[in-house]
Every structure is written in structure tokens, then in C-alpha cells.
A = this chain, B = another copy of it.
Amino acid sequence: MAEKTLGIGLVGTKFMGRAHSNAWMTAPRFFDLPREVLMRAVAGRDVADVAAFSRRWGWQCCTDDWRDLLDDPQVGLVDVCTPNHVHAEVSIAALEAGRHVACEKPLAGTIADARAMRDAARKAARRGVRTFVWFNYRRCPAVALAHQLVKEGRLGRIFHVRASYLQDWGGPSTPLLWRFQGKLAGSGAHGDLNAHIIDMARFVTGEEVTEVVGALEETFVKERDLVEASGGAISGKGAKRATRGRRKAKSTVDDAVLFLARMSGGAVASFEATRLATGNQNRNTLEVNGEKGSLRFDFERMNELSWWDHALPARLRGWSVIMCTDAAHPYAGNYWPAAHVLGYEHGFVSQAADIAMALGRRKPVVPIPDFADAFEVQRVLEAAIRCARTRRPVSVADIR
């Protein structure tokens, strides 16, 4: 028997905590959901902060100990928005406590953590407990449409995948946020950004990455200013504006990771993630070239999907820029009329809706990744790093 209410317990109050709060608040307004979303409780590290956050976003209660969420019978799903190194502990405890878990990407900071999470999810699944991972870009209507077009066979055999996620907030003047600390983040641009485009490439093409043939890991900025003690340690991207001390310390993550790969269907692929591509603020791009057609996506123009239909006569072929905001496009009909464009946050809103759908025994518009699915991404991340460090090709099959 499906419960009527879906009580959410959120862990984390920074960038993703905000995005998810907005998603849980908004999803029921735009979607007809089989379960009523209850914004039950939020957990954060700082008492005052979490209280203010809770008031602002309308959570019913708050705590500075995430374990309290597991004692609350009204919490049916734990939503994990912490730094990466805490994903495993929170998620596994929640699963063991019989709660569904929706975890931010990447699944974990290390392959060991990710493996433990996948195993815990497998065990929990036997008791009907579900897992979800917030690869939010899948629910960008243009990306979801790309997935559908490939699935319909419109691209034919795929030759090339070209994916990049370029940001530029990691220049020399950015201080040593948690995202630059290996112990907390696991990796730098790699886990943060390559995770997204590996998932997108898999999702859109329906193929797996089978081998990382070559890879390159680089930390351009070796040392960074320390963030001053006061609360800045876990601070997200906005923290560029944090006050900075004069002392410096070593950055222990990559600034950029590039790799070349082979896909299960025979395509070749390139992936690139960086935080130092000046002028590229959030340029998450994917290109897929097939025998019958091609696709291009650039998140900075996220409402648009470019499609090349090679079946047309040469005289009429062109890159068709589809504004994916029509009622006929995935998710778009739930929001506004055509070309009344959507933004970044709508991917989260749509995923919150789809999670509620899934937990109400309805089919999400496009598949939601679970821990097992996200573990596949983690394997590729791991293969890429091993390749970069050993300077040898690495088969993804060897990462378990």
C-alpha cells in the first residue's frame, strides 16, 4: 500500500540544500503527484544556520544532527546534500533505517564509498527501499529530448560522443574551499563536473563507457588562500566572496581532468571537466554524432537542443535549434507556454516530481538513476583517474 504522504528529511543547507528545498516546495504546484510532499525536517551542522534555513524554506523542523531524521517516523525519504565524503555514512544509515534515499551526485568521493553505497542500496531494495541520485541535467527538457531521440533510433549507429563541462570560478584568486580539499571532496572538477557529463553521455546514448584510453589530470593552481575559520569551510560556489586569510595551503584536488574513451556501441568519446576555462561559466556541453543524425547541447542555452537530421535531402539539411519548451517536450508542458523559458532550478523540480512519481508507483518521464546506475558513473571516474595516474589505458570492467 502506497502511503499518501512523502515526508522529506533534508541533510545539507548550502547550494544544493537550497536547490532541493526549492524543488520539494515547487514540484507539487506544477505536477500532479501521487503522493503529497511534506517538507518535514532539515539537518545542518550549525544550529543557528539550520534554523534560519528551515524558516526560510518552510521545513517543519530542524536539527544539527542528521541522525535525528532517522528517528522521525514522518521522514520517508532522506535527501543527502552534504559534501561528498559524508554521502556514504548518511545514505547507508538512512537505508538501514528503511528510508528511501535521494543523494546528490557524485555518488561518493571515493570508489570504496560508492561501492558500499551500491551494496547497501541492493540490500535495502529487497525491503522495497529505493535510491535516487540527483543527476539533475537528465531532466533538462533538451537533454531528456535528446535521450528520446536516440532511443527512437534517429541517430543510428553512434560514432562520436563529445562532452565537456567547463567552468571558470576556480582561478588563482579563489580560496581553498572544501571543493579544493581532497579529503572532503574526493576530487575537484572530476567528481563535480565529469560525473555530470559521464551520466549525460550514458543517458543520452544508452551506451556504457567501456575503456578509458588516455587521461590527463592537472592542478594549475597548486596553493590557495585559506578560508578564514568562521563558517566558511563548507560553503559552496558562492564562497568566492568569502573573506580570505593570508595564509595559503596546498590544493589537493584536480582543477581539470580530460579523458578519451570507448563506448560499448563502438563510439569514441572525449570528456573534459575544468574550473579554469575562463569565460565558460557553466558550459556543460554534449555532442553526439551518429550515422543518421547528430545532436548538440550546451547548458548555457539549456532550452535549446540542436538536431541534425541526415535523412533530409542535402539541400534542406541544417542544425535545427529546437526550443524545448513546447507541451510536446518532456517536462515543459508542466510549466509555462512555449518559449517562456525554463532555468537551472527546473531540473531539480522535475526530479523531485519524478521521485514522488516513482514512490507513488507511477513512471517518471525519463529514468531516474539509482545507486547502481550512479555507481557506473563512479567506475568511469575511477578508471579515468587511474588512467591519468598510471599513464596506461584502463578497462572499466576492471573497476568493481
Binding site for B on A (CB under 8 A): 15, 19, 21-22, 25-26, 28-29, 56-57, 145, 159-160, 162, 164, 166, 168-169, 171-172, 213-216, 218, 220, 237-238, 241, 255-256, 258-260, 262, 266, 268, 270, 272, 274, 276-283, 287, 289-294, 299-303, 305-308, 310, 313-323, 325-329, 335-346, 387, 391-393
Contact = CB atoms under 8 A, between A and B. Distances in A.
Given A279-B317, A342-B343, 17 more contacts: A22-B29, A25-B25, A159-B255, A213-B214, A258-B270, A260-B260, A270-B270, A274-B289, A278-B292, A283-B339, A300-B323, A314-B327, A319-B321, A320-B320, A336-B345, A341-B344, A342-B344
Nearest to A256: B268
24 contacts: A21-B29, A22-B26, A22-B29, A25-B25, A159-B277, A160-B274, A166-B289, A169-B337, A171-B291, A270-B270, A278-B289, A278-B294, A278-B308, A279-B308, A281-B323, A281-B337, A282-B339, A300-B303, A306-B318, A315-B326, A315-B328, A320-B320, A336-B344, A342-B343
Contact of A159 (B278, B325, B335, B341): B278
Contacts of A266: 220
B259 A280 contact: no
B314 A326 contact: yes
A38 to B, nearest CB: 13
A157 B394 CA distance: 32
Nearest to A271: B270
Contact of A278 (B238, B276, B310): B310
Chain A contact residues, majority secondary structure: mixed
B391 A300 contact: no
A337 B162 contact: no
Nearest to A255: B159
B172 A291 contact: yes
A204 B262 CA distance: 30
A22 B317 CA distance: 29
A56 B36 CA distance: 11
Contact of A214 (B260, B274, B283, B343): B260
A168 to B, nearest CB: 8
